[in-house]
């Protein structure tokens, strides 16, 4: 028994030290993540983990695909595009608190029978993933996504979430954000996008590296028509908070 006691007496300091390191690491993570979310409430997001990973992927494939991205405030992005991405990606964006639980339940039920899994991420969740995290389908990453979504919904306005989202979304190989995409595809600033151009942008969001808004496939055209129907169902009054000062 004496040997056991002496063994535990030697282990205890190491356990205390390990516990202290873990607690400091956890506290550091929560402090850094909170600070990052608060700073990005005002600061432009010029680079994201996805942009870096995509560039590395292209480099591994032997391709040089430069990042094309221009940050612009929400007021310099066409309302046609803002409405289209909401109608396409998250029709309840302006009314939920970060999560669409009905969509999540539908996706869980549908995915029991589907080979290609159906997603249910809101614009808030997608923004959290794009800005703070990395592409992955692990439960660990989804948990972090939920955490950052809650922080964003607490400290950011809906307008700010949407502003960041449309400035960092991938819209083609190396093309990120509405401004860079509008200038690349349509040779005009994002504020000048018309209804059809905006809806085609929103239609390619599920796979922007495969689809091209200027050469839409039949599937992309069907998605555009789906977006148009959603816009009619939502109605003009639903989007009024976007125009409020």
- 135-167 pLDDT tens trace: 777 888 889 999 999 999 999 999 999 999 999
Among 238, 176, 230, residue whose Cα is nearest residue 201? 176
Q: Please, which pLDDT band fits residue 11 given cuts at 50, 70 and 90? A: low
Same domain as 28, residue 128: no
What is the separation, in whole angstroms, between the first and last Cα of the chain?
Answer: 73
Query: Residues 66-93: what's their mean pLDDT?
Result: 95
Query: Residues 193-217: what's their mean pLDDT?
Result: 94
Task: Count structural domains, the chain.
Answer: 2
Same domain as 130, residue 57: yes
Looking at the chain, the whole-number percentage of residues with pLDDT higher than 70 is 89
Element (H, E) at 197: helix 195-203
- Kindly tell me if the per-residue pLDDT of 188 is higher than 80: yes
- Kindly tell me if the per-residue pLDDT of 68 is higher than 70: yes
| Residues 164 and 40: beta-carbon distance below 8 Å | yes
- Kindly tell me if the per-residue pLDDT of 5 is higher than 60: no
Same domain as 102, residue 13: no
Same domain as 164, residue 51: yes
Same domain as 97, residue 2: no
Same domain as 70, residue 140: yes
Same domain as 178, residue 214: yes
Q: How many other C-beta atoms are found inside a 10 Å radius of the C-beta of residue 24?
A: 10
- Kindly tell me if the per-residue pLDDT of 168 is higher than 90: yes
- Kindly tell me if the per-residue pLDDT of 9 is higher than 70: no
- Kindly tell me if the per-residue pLDDT of 23 is higher than 80: no
**In this predicted structure, what is the pLDDT of residue 21?**
78
Same domain as 179, residue 145: yes
Q: Please, which pLDDT band fits residue 26 given cuts at 50, 70 and 90? A: confident
Q: Is 141 left (phi over 0), alpha (psi -120 to 50) or beta?
A: alpha
Same domain as 138, residue 205: yes
Phi, psi values for residue 10, rounded to 5°: -80, -30
Crossing angle of helices 158-168 and 123-132, in 10° steps, is 60
- Kindly tell me if the per-residue pLDDT of 15 is higher than 90: no
State the CATH number of the domain containing residue 55: 1.10.3810.10
- Which structural domain range is residue 25 located in? 1-39
Same domain as 89, residue 27: no
Using a cut of 0.75, tell me whether the model's pTM lies above it.
yes
**In this predicted structure, what is the pLDDT of residue 44?**
96
Whole-angstrom distance, CA of residue 169 vs CA of residue 54: 13
Whole-angstrom distance, CA of residue 20 vs CA of residue 18: 5
Same domain as 193, residue 82: yes
Same domain as 82, residue 175: yes
Query: Residues 104-123: what's their mean pLDDT?
Result: 70
């Amino acid at each position: 028994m004496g040997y056991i006691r002496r063994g535990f007496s030697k282990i205890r300091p190491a356990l205390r030290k390990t516990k202290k390191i873990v607690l400091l690491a956890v506290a550091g993570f929560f402090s850094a993540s909170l600070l990052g979310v608060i700073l990005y409430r005002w600061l432009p997001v010029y680079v994201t983990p996805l942009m870096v990973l995509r560039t590395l992927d292209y480099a591994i494939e032997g391709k040089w695909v430069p990042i094309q991205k221009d940050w612009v405030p929400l007021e310099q992005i066409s309302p046609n595009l803002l409405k289209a991405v909401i109608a396409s990606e998250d029709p309840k964006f302006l009314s939920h608190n970060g999560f669409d639980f009905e969509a999540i339940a539908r996706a869980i039920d549908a995915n029991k029978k589907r080979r290609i899994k159906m997603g249910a991420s809101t614009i808030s969740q997608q923004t959290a993933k794009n800005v703070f995290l990395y592409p992955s389908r692990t439960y660990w990453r989804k948990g972090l996504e939920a955490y950052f979504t809650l922080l964003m919904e607490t400290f950011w306005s809906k307008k700010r979430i949407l502003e960041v989202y449309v400035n960092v979304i991938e819209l083609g190989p190396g093309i990120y954000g509405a401004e860079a995409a509008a200038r690349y595809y349509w040779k005009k600033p994002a504020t000048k996008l018309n209804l059809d151009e905006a809806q085609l942008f929103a239609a390619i969001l599920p796979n922007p590296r495969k689809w091209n808004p200027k050469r839409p496939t039949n599937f992309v055209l069907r998605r555009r028509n789906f977006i148009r129907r959603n816009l009619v169902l939502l109605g003009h009054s639903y989007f009024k908070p976007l125009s409020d000062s």
